[in-house]
């Protein structure tokens, strides 16, 4: 029997023409143009008596598209330059460096305004409106949920303002805010590695920026969620003050440390005050219970906190091998607490709503997969500008999912960044010309070819801003 091999007769040459790789990366770039983001960034980056060869707004969009496509360093802009037949002229790596150097503090504020204007247009054209945040098998309706959290970005070389972190690593400690409804990366601040986890001023700064990113007609009902790092008097007082804005309701759900007063309240809480906790699906979770401790705390303790603050505790039987505190070893329960100013609603649902804050960890992981994990420069200002590009990239991914991954393209809507690249952004295609028209041809055997074509057709139909 004659043996055959799949590689028989196979050869590789470098003389192909009319072929482009990463053809799907054209989509987020086209989307940025259609929704007006490119034009808004061009206005924000304009300098008097300076007319660059490469428009700075276009360069920032190309950098964001590169990050969306999986680029990890500025030299990866060469992948887009390879597609010049489809994209036109793309800036070189040195031009990208110069553009980042031009993103000063004043320019960053203008870019925030440009993003907010574009977001208002995008949200007004979302199919079915802004998605509702969901937890425990229910949704929160028109409430816009803002999740704030910080993370560690490790650096392996001496960079400006990099410092030892509380996790015994070395790098930066950025803090950011994500919209749970849309997965958008609304605001962020790059901080030294030794920046405090619970610094109220940093929380207030990024939350103020994030609220400014939310279109005005959606700021009427906000929920701010945080882990225990947000449990500070200054932050909760600031959130409470936001309710003084006419027509606006701002609620918070923030983790709280199990301190001595809470331990005493837990010890005095009667057994009948505990009720079953819920799973993310809304079903009763075995071995987990919830109780409100507000009425069991000393009045003097709550007087120091904003009026209307409620203290809710969850207890759960730990998994085998889990380490418990000395207090938890007494009865074998593991305790977690949070505080909220939501006055109504089922206790179990409020606790499930708070636990949904854990989704922010996925948002952070996606941001690190899209540029946040690799800061390119030794200079802090350039790394701040890179962080702006990371947020732009996150916006483009979120908007592509919400605006274009519908109908035949719905199979791509739930893809994480890596899966989206594998199925969509990194697809190869042939570029055919006919007269003055160009046609990108996705291989008909590609499993997601129909979905990719549907994405492009939907983006082409998006109305441009007035």
pLDDT in tens, 316-368: 888 777 777 777 777 778 889 999 999 888 899 999 999 999 999 999 999 99
Is the torsion defined by CA of 176, 179, 185, 187 positive or negative?
Answer: negative
Average pLDDT on 189-202 reads 92
Q: Where would I find the beta strands (DSSP E) of 155-248? A: 163-164, 170-172, 175-179, 185-189, 221-226
pLDDT tens profile 44-58: 998 888 787 888 999
The shares of helix, strand and coil residues in the chain, as percent rounded to the nearest 5, are 45, 20, 35
Non-local CB neighbours of 442 within 8 Å, separated by 6+ positions = 23, 427, 429, 449, 452, 453
- DSSP letter for each residue of 313-349: EEEEPPPTT----TTHHHHS-EEEEEEE---SS-HHH
Average pLDDT on 410-428 reads 92
CB atoms within 10 A of CB 198: 16
Q: Where are the alpha helices (DSSP H) in 131-273?
A: 200-213, 233-242, 260-268
Closest by CA to 24, choosing from 393, 370, 452, is 452
Res 374 pLDDT > 80: yes
Average pLDDT on 437-447 reads 91
For the record, the structure tokens of 413 come out as: 């809507």
- What is the reported pLDDT for 2? 61
- What is the reported pLDDT for 240? 94
Q: Is the pTM of this model over 0.75?
A: yes
> Rounded mean pLDDT of the chain?
91
- What is the reported pLDDT for 1? 53
DSSP at 24: G
Instruction: Provide the percentage of residues in the chain whose pLDDT is more than 70.
Output: 99
Q: How far apart are CA 404 and CA 413, in angstroms?
A: 8
Largest Cα separation within the chain, whole Å, is 90
- What is the reported pLDDT for 398? 95
Instruction: Pick the more confident residue, 93 or 319.
Output: 93
CA distances from residue 459 to 66, 123, 182, 429, 466 in whole angstroms, order as listed: 19, 15, 18, 18, 17
- What is the reported pLDDT for 159? 92
Strands 284-292 and 310-316: antiparallel
- What is the reported pLDDT for 302? 81
Average pLDDT on 297-305 reads 81
| Cα 370 → chain centroid | 10
Closest by CA to 426, choosing from 128, 33, 180, 76, is 76
What letters, b where the CB count within 10 A reaches 16 and e where it falls short, cover 162-176?
beebeeeebbbbbbb
Angle at 251 between CA 250 and CA 257, to 5 degrees: 140
Grade residue 203 by pLDDT with cuts at 50, 70 and 90: very high
Question: 426: exposed, middle or buried (C-beta count within 10 Å: 0-12, 13-18, 19+)?
Answer: middle
The SS3 assignment for 255 reads strand
For the record, the structure tokens of 338 come out as: 């949070």
- What is the reported pLDDT for 33? 94
For the record, the structure tokens of 60 come out as: 């920032």
The SS3 assignment for 371 reads helix
CB of 130 within 8 A of CB of 122? no
Q: How far apart are CA 466 and CA 217, in angstroms?
A: 18
Res 93 pLDDT > 80: yes
Res 201 pLDDT > 70: yes
Average pLDDT on 398-423 reads 93
Strands 170-172 and 153-154: antiparallel
- What is the reported pLDDT for 84? 85
The SS3 assignment for 178 reads strand
- What is the reported pLDDT for 49? 80
Grade residue 207 by pLDDT with cuts at 50, 70 and 90: very high
Q: How far apart are CA 172 and CA 227, in angstroms?
A: 19
């Amino acid at each position: 029997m004659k043996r055959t091999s799949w590689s028989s007769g196979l050869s590789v040459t470098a003389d192909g023409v009319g072929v482009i790789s990463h053809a799907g990366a054209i989509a987020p770039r086209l989307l940025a143009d259609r929704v007006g983001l490119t034009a808004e960034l061009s206005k924000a980056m304009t300098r008097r008596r300076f007319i660059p060869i490469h428009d700075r707004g276009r360069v920032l969009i190309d950098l964001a598209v590169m990050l969306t496509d999986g680029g990890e360093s500025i030299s990866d802009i060469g992948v887009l330059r390879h597609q010049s037949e489809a994209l036109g002229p793309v800036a070189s790596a040195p031009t990208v460096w110069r553009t980042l150097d031009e993103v000063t503090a004043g320019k960053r504020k203008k870019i925030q305004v440009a993003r907010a204007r574009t977001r208002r247009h995008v949200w007004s054209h979302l199919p079915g409106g802004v998605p509702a945040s969901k937890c425990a098998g229910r949704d929160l309706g028109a409430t816009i949920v803002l999740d704030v959290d910080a993370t560690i970005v490790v650096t392996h070389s001496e960079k400006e303002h990099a410092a030892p972190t509380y996790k015994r690593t070395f790098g930066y400690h950025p803090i950011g805010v994500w919209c749970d409804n849309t997965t958008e990366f609304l605001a962020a601040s790059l901080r030294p590695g030794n920046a405090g986890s619970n610094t109220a001023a940093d929380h207030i700064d990024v939350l103020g920026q994030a609220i400014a990113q939310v279109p005005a007609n959606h700021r009427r009902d906000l929920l701010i969620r945080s882990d225990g790092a947000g449990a500070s008097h200054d932050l909760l007082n600031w959130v409470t003050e936001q309710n003084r804005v006419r027509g606006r309701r701002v609620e918070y759900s923030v983790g709280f440390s199990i301190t001595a007063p809470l331990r005493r309240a837990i010890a005095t809480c009667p057994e009948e005050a505990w009720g079953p906790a819920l799973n993310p699906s809304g079903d009763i979770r075995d071995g987990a219970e919830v109780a409100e401790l507000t009425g069991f705390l000393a009045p003097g303790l709550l007087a120091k906190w904003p009026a209307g603050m409620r203290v809710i505790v969850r207890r759960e039987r730990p998994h085998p091998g889990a380490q418990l505190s000395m207090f938890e070893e007494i009865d074998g329960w593991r305790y977690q607490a949070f505080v909220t100013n939501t006055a109504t609603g089922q206790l179990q649902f409020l606790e499930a709503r708070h636990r949904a804050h854990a989704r922010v960890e996925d948002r952070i992981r996606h941001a690190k997969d899209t540029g946040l994990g690799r800061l390119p420069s030794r200079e802090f200002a350039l790394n701040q500008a890179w962080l702006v590009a990371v947020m732009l990239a996150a916006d483009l991914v979120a908007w592509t999912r919400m605006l274009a991954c519908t109908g035949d393209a719905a199979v791509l809507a739930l893809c994480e960044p890596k899966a989206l690249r594998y199925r969509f952004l990194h697809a190869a295609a042939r570029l055919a010309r006919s007269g003055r028209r160009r046609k990108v041809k996705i291989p008909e055997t590609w499993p997601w070819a129909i979905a990719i074509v549907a994405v492009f057709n939907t983006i082409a139909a998006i109305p441009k801003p007035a």
